[in-house]
Structure 1
């Protein structure tokens, strides 16, 4: 599968200031595949170590973390020659070996000629919860997210359609002729999501949803099993409870996260740690409210008011047990979960582009789903609508009060423009994110 991170890995490899790379990302987002694919494209061979499977590897790092000693030890363990120019050294599941993580500092300082990538599914959790000596300033860092819609189109052999959508975004006053086809595919993506294994299964089993759903449930089961790692039994229970509450949180009219929705009487002091674990594991995204949409947005952040979304929309639709017919547009048809699913999808596209995103407003005065800065520094409101009814009093109120440079309305409608309001179809949310990311 082609992934957006391929270009980032190439840029890292070609950088004259390259440091050892730490690749973050949730379990099953495709980290190992992306690294292996990169190694095949760019190196003669790969020295691969998985600390979850090979105890002897940990022993090598326990003995010494001097690069020369490590290279010698890895050559003996893997029965191969490690060449600084032609070999990619991969340290997978590195969170299981603290000495290996520390060694990255010495590769940076004493042996920068070697190409080293470290990865781990729960690396963020381990680093945040243990007294790890993380090599700050001595490593480059990237995060692999679930596949965005463009990557999904690549996987389904729709590269040309992806290019056409990008081109259509640059002509907002002209309807896109392939709108209906693109809407069919975005509904498909809402079901399958961006986890590579379900996507691959769906593509290669004549688009059979049932098998993809089985794989999605397996991923969720693996996530829940992971929640017992680096946590006490009581804390594990709270992490699981917080995770299981997300579909209920998003089904409410007000999607603001409420601890009492986890369980009656639930309080912040009991569940804040659980949410931090889920964020560190990369399986949820926390969206915080801003009191005023003014730069810098972080200065107006209200950390007590937030929403929680799943990192992958396909896993959310699996939790809801959504079927294709549930996504057919109809007035008042399952509107609560469709709204939640669309918001989750849009945030997934923004997160994949690493756009810092917030929301504005309250239930009383109306809410704008997303607030973000574009590449020119403008604070832009992004309204998300589930169907063709795009009346939005909250966005109208926002535009009247703050007079943004322009506003975005994402919906099932085609491209269009009315003054400073741009209508963008849901399937082009990834292009919007790309536009906000780059000048």
Structure 2
């Protein structure tokens, strides 16, 4: 069963473009890259898939200095499927197993521009890091992530609810019953997460225990991959840092965590590898004095979050009963899962053509301490976003940011309904990604 994804629209637009570049789909393992490309393949007369892991002999075609025309001719004969420009989609899967094939991609843009060719792979970033200028200007990248909450609602068939959320705004809140329904589905999503297999398992079985087993398998699979990240880095070292990230979500990362067995440099190396794998994303401190936000970062001050709330809650061992039964005013404050969810939604609803970057603002002084969970750029303005897991909480840090940076408004995202309080726009947590993607201009 294929569940539609937002990236499907991006892929269809690429298909219709006259002057298209070869496409490279990038992202963590098992987030649905291959399924999305196969779905696109149904829009073509012919679909040719080469998996370099399963059929390593195909690498020879890309190592013989053959032209794109010669490669296509030989692939067509071997696969017994015609490769015709504008009618065939050529899909190179697990392309990281053939670095030469990655290098050849750019020549398809120059020599065979009318052929639709897409590549994807697991742990692709490790291979790309070893190929300088692998295809600058000749290859287009699209970045994928696990399901967003919006995609989850579509998967459940909750299109009317999604439309209601999309049409709501701080000046036009949702009816309370609809708001409560959205919160209930948000709780389910936090437990299930956005990994395609977990979402599909829930839809087919309506069984949270079955979902938990899927998440367990995914965690084991990811940890097994650690040995592939870098030969000189022991997998146990990466595993230690991975679990440390889980425990520190929502806080500035501390290298002096309890039971640490590694040096700072070893921890930094493991963090870099985890980021390259797509399992971990960084939130970097910025002074936020002007745009771009990334111009004033302090790389020594970073938080880290996991790629998925389902995997996070499973590794942390959160009480699922408490998540569903607990009063909404104190939704899952344990483990900073609300802050994790918001960060992931910001990434998932950013541009597919660039690597999403997350930032936060923090000021320490003897007289005052202030921190804003996320800051985003909107035009020439920097918008602060404060995350509250429940419906209550002070907003001193948000006000300090607005005063110091001369920003017109800030966003508080919580379990409250849409609303306005002075210069603060209140956005329900479940709607933050949808608003940031479609309606930020309308909430000023």
Q: TM-score, normalised by structure 1?
A: 0.92
Match of 2:308 in 1: 312
Q: By how many angstroms is 1:438 displaced?
A: 8.0
Runs of 4+ with deviation above 4 angstroms: 330-334, 436-439
1:33 aligns with 2:29: no
- Are the counterparts in 2 of residues 293 and 371 from structure 1 also a CA contact under 8 Å? no
1:113 aligns with 2:114: yes
Farther-moved stretch of structure 1 (237-246 vs 154-163): 237-246
Match of 2:222 in 1: 223
Give the aligned CA root-mean-square deviation in angstroms: 2.1
Secondary structure, in 3 states, of the residue corresponding to 1:229? Answer: helix
Aligned length: 429
Match of 1:23 in 2: 25
Secondary structure, in 3 states, of the residue corresponding to 1:116? Answer: strand
For residues 175-186 of structure 1, the aligned pairs below 5 Å read 175-177=174-176, 178-186=178-186
For residues 28-427 of structure 1, the aligned pairs below 5 Å read 28-40=30-42, 42-128=43-129, 130-131=130-131, 134-169=134-169, 172-177=171-176, 178-205=178-205, 207-232=206-231, 234-250=233-249, 255-261=251-257, 263-264=259-260, 266-327=262-323, 328-329=326-327, 335-337=333-335, 340-354=336-350, 356-362=357-363, 365-374=369-378, 376-427=379-430
Structure 1: state its 5+ residue gaps.
none
- Are the counterparts in 2 of residues 406 and 420 from structure 1 also a CA contact under 8 Å? yes
Q: By how many angstroms is 1:294 displaced?
A: 2.4
Aligned partners of 2:186, 2:238: CA distance in 1, in Å? 31
Aligned partners of 2:104, 2:199: CA distance in 1, in Å? 36
Q: Deviations over 1:150-191 (max 9, x none)?
A: 00001111111111100013x534343400000000011100
Structure 2: state its 5+ residue gaps.
351-355
Q: Deviations over 1:46-86 (max 9, x none)?
A: 11000010022112222334111111121122121111121
- Are the counterparts in 1 of residues 52 and 93 from structure 2 also a CA contact under 8 Å? yes
1:109–1:333 distance in 2 versus 1, CA, 3 Å? closer
1:416–1:87 distance in 2 versus 1, CA, 3 Å? same
Secondary structure, in 3 states, of the residue corresponding to 1:404? Answer: coil
Q: TM-score, normalised by structure 2?
A: 0.91
Aligned partners of 1:420, 1:183: CA distance in 2, in Å? 25
Q: Deviations over 1:131-156 (max 9, x none)?
A: 46612221011011111000000111
